[in-house]
Structures are given as structure tokens and as C-alpha cells.
Structure 1
Amino acid sequence: MIKIIAVLCSLSAPGNCHEQIVTTSDFADVSLQSCLMGAPQLAEWMNQHPAERLAGWRCVIGQQARRGI
């Protein structure tokens, strides 16, 4: 399973950023290549969360602990 971990920043407080796993069951078909290129599903997820700005993302295979920002 490939997880997409996004770095999101609040539009109202740009310095307020956090990591969010945006992978759901809808992302079951995400390939590593698709993830590295900015999976279309990530854009769709961002459209559903208009109060945040995507500052970056990374692709993780399997389980991985969260990193601090």
C-alpha cells in the first residue's frame, strides 16, 4: 500500500503547517509513479479542503511513523 502524506498549511495562518495522511480506500490504486508525479487524487482531496494550502507531499510504502515539521 502506498500512502500519500501531505504537508498542509492553513491559509489564515501560513506558518501553521502539519502533516496529514491523505490516503484512504479511494487511493487503493495509486502507484508509486502516480504518487511521485502528484497523484490526481491528491488534487481532488485538496479541493475538498479549501482552507488549507498544499506545501508538499511524500509517498510512503507500507507503515511509517509521522515526522515533525
Structure 2
Amino acid sequence: MIELVFVACLKAEPRTCEQKILSYVWEGEAASGTSCFMRAQPELATWAREHPAFTIVSWKCEESSRREIDV
């Protein structure tokens, strides 16, 4: 599964940041890194509109099996 991994920081507290993950299976299309990159900006724009207290500072697409998990 391809995941859109991004970091969002509070606008009022720019040093307070969170990692967010959106996982995708796009209907009628095999999820790939290329399709994730093509769809990332509209997805991030939607997320940003729904979470106006945050600003997105970085993002990447990656396989869920390759993602590092903080323990």
C-alpha cells in the first residue's frame, strides 16, 4: 500500500509538529509511487483546508512496508 506521509505544524506554535499518514487505494488504479505523487498536492490541499490551524511543512510518498515506525 502506498502512503502519503507528511509533517504538519501548528501555525500558532511552529515548533509543535506531527507526522500524519494518509493511506490510499485508488479506485480503478493500482496504487504506485507515481500515482501518489500525482495526487498528493490536491489531497494535501484538502487536508489543509480541513485543518486550518496547521501548515504542511514536508511530504513524501512511500510504501507502508518501508515506513519507519517510532517506538
CA positional deviation for 1:42: 2.0
* TM-score between both structures, scaled by the size of structure 2: 0.70
How far is 1:22 from its partner?
A: 2.6
Q: Let me know the Cα RMSD of the aligned residues.
A: 2.0
| Residues 26-45 of structure 1: pairs in structure 2 closer than 5 A | 27-29=24-26, 31-37=32-38, 39=40, 40-45=42-47
Flag structure 1 segments of 5+ consecutive residues without an equivalent: none
Could you list the structure 1 runs, at least 4 aligned residues long, displaced by more than 3 angstroms after superposition. Answer: none
User: What TM-score does the superposition give when structure 1 sets the normalisation length?
Assistant: 0.71
Q: Are 1:22 and 1:45, in contact at CA under 8 Å, matched by a contact in 2?
A: no
Give the unaligned 5+ runs of structure 2. Answer: none
Identity of aligned residues (%): 33
How many aligned positions are there? 64
Larger radius of gyration: 2
Looking at secondary structure, tell me which structure has more helix per residue: 2
